[in-house]
Amino acid sequence: MDEKRTVKISKSLSRVLRHDPGRVGLTLDEAGWVRVDALLFALRLSRAELDHVVATNNKKRFAYSDDGLRIRASQGHTVAVDLGLAATEPPPVLYHGTAARSLDAIYREGLRPMSRQDVHLSADTETAVRVGSRHGRPVVLAVDAATMAAAGHVFRVSANGVWLTDTVAPEYLTPLS
């Protein structure tokens, strides 16, 4: 499958599995899963196309259930789902990539999930730079996850390694130069 088709399918999957399953007549279960056969029918895809996109997505945005009969987005939902991720002790420092133009608001309000369910954090600066680059000139913020965890903040890690938490107050943020 060519790259253009792969990207188109990936974007459709993100839209349906993270934001608007009803647009194609699907309903996610409480954990965000939908039956693969129903998704294939709704999006007019072959299983080979779906398998290709899931396997080659560099961010591992989608995951199959253990039996391969269901699929869901790994995180990033704007619809209410409970991914069932256990609280996990984070590394001492996590990272958040953002656009430079967002810094004033972040320093005032901290990191908020906005339309999503969680704030997304990265375990490495390279990923944070990539994320921040999507919105303009990237800036990477270090998050003092150890201090947050000690203060009772809960962290979870998604199937594709994205760290999730409810909010990050400004006092836990340090810009990296």
3-73 and 93-175: identical CATH topology: no
pLDDT tens, N- to C-terminus, the chain (177 residues): 899 999 999 999 999 999 999 999 999 999 999 999 999 999 999 999 999 999 998 888 999 999 999 999 998 899 999 999 999 999 999 999 999 999 999 999 999 998 888 999 999 999 999 999 988 899 999 999 999 999 999 999 998 899 999 999 999 999 995
Residues 157, 104: Cα–Cα separation, whole Å: 28
Q: Which pTM does this prediction carry?
A: 0.83
- Could you tell me the CA-to-CA distances from 122 to 100, 143, 163 in Å, in that order? 17, 10, 6
In the chain, domain spans:
3-73, 93-175
Other C-beta atoms lying within 10 Å of the C-beta of residue 80: 9
The CATH class that applies to domain 3-73 reads mainly alpha
Residues 36, 34: Cα–Cα separation, whole Å: 6
Helices (H), the chain: 3-14, 36-43, 47-56, 103-109, 125-133, 145-150
Residues 18, 61: Cα–Cα separation, whole Å: 10
CATH T-level fold of 93-175? ADP-ribosylation fold (3.20.170)
